[in-house]
Structure 1
Amino acid sequence: MDIRDLSKASLTPLSNMCVIEKYFSAVKKMDALAVKGEKFDTDAIMELWHEDGQLSISGKDAIGEKQFAKQDEIAGFYKNRARGVEGLFSTNLSKVNVANSKNDEHIVVSGMRYIVDQKGQGLQAPFTHNFRLSDGRISSLDIHVGTPDKTEVAPIGSLTIEDLGSLSAMAWMVA
């Protein structure tokens, strides 16, 4: 393999990252409008989805798991999510901490949601979005609210003793 081919192949997993950036940009806009009590047009976010897309949301026991299939149900979820805020929050922000790409069609993003109500009471909620993409559009998205122990792409959370050897080996290689 030519070194130029190797270089191109190594950047392949990043080509769908623009879809993920557009997704979180639409979520940011949705959150800003929701805080103001204004309507969010789901078209901007739904153009990123396949017609037969699948959305699943899970978390600790209180959240359980919810499933949404195809454009109508997924658009309904985003409409309800934006409407559910109705100006009750003074801040509703997400911060992406890490994005890992297993391949061009599988990207995992983890971060933190910061929510503050009108009385100044706050909440921080960690999240992980497990995206599957096809033809540059989202075919499935699994959202986990809370910190999962592990994803298909990379372990999330605290390092354990068995990770320290691997971490040391990686540090040695780049030192």
Structure 2
Amino acid sequence: MDIRELNKTSLTPLSNMSVIEKYFAAVKEMDAHAVKGEKFDTDAIMELWHSGGKLSIHGKESIGEKNYAKHDEIAGFYQNRARGVDGMLATNLSKVNVANAKNDEHIVVSGLRYIINKNGEGLQAPFTHNFRLQDGRISFLDIHVGTPGKTELAPVGALSIDDLGSLSAMAWMVA
């Protein structure tokens, strides 16, 4: 195998990360419009979705679980979310802390959402987005609001290295 071919194939798991970056850029823009009370066209987000996609949102018992199937239901969710809460928010921002690609079709992203109302009261809500992609589009998104005990790729808050000796040996080779 040619070294250029090896380099190209070794980056394959990262090729769909651009879809995830576009998703979070569109969410950031949507949140900015919602805070200002401005209309937001959700087409930018829906272009990233597979026509037969599924969306699941869950967390602690207080928020329950919501499921959306197919393009129309998912578009309805984003349209409702884009409306915000009638201008009651002063800040609605997300910060991605970690993204991990198991393979080209499975990416997990965790971070924090900061929400502050007009009275200066707010909260920080951890989240994990578990993306499945098909043909370069989101086919399934599982959003967990709150700190999960573990995710399929990265048990948030419980990351550990089983063999510190091997890690030290690898670090020494590149130092």
Tell me whether the two structures share a fold, i.e. TM-score over 0.5: yes
Matched letter for residue 48 of structure 2: L
Flag as ranges the 4+ runs of structure 1 deviating above 6 A. Answer: none
Counterpart contact for 1:128–1:144, Cα < 8 Å: yes
Relative to the length of structure 2, the TM-score reads: 0.92
Q: Give the Å deviation of 1:170.
A: 2.4
Q: Which residue of 2 aligns with 1:150?
A: 150
> Any idea what the Cα deviations from partners look like across 1:135-162, whole Å, max 9, x if unmatched?
1110010000011111111211134xxx
Gaps of 5+ in 1: none
- The 3 A distance-change label for structure 1 pair 114 and 135 is same
Q: Could you say what secondary structure the match of 2:115 adopts?
A: strand
- What is the CA RMSD across the aligned residues, in angstroms? 1.5
Stretches of structure 2 that go unaligned for 5 or more consecutive residues are none
Q: TM-score, normalised by structure 1?
A: 0.92
- Shift in Å, 1:2: 4.8
Letter in 2 for 1:21: E
Q: Give 1:85's aligned amino acid.
A: V
Alignment of 1:14-163 (within 5 A): 14-159=14-159, 163=160
How much does 1:44 deviate?
A: 0.8
Which structure has greater helix proportion?
1
- Aligned to 1:165, the other structure's residue is in SS state coil
**Residues 19 and 136 in structure 1, CA contact (< 8 A), matched pair in contact too:** yes
For 1:148 and 1:171, the matched residues in 2 are separated by 30
Corresponding pairs, count: 172
Q: Secondary structure in 1 aligned to 2:21?
A: helix
Q: After TM superposition, give the deviation of residue 164 of structure 1 in Å.
A: 4.7
Q: Does 1:174 align with 2:168?
A: no
Q: For residues 166 and 114 of structure 1, do their structure 2 counterparts lie closer, same or farther at Cα, with a shift above 3 Å needed?
A: farther
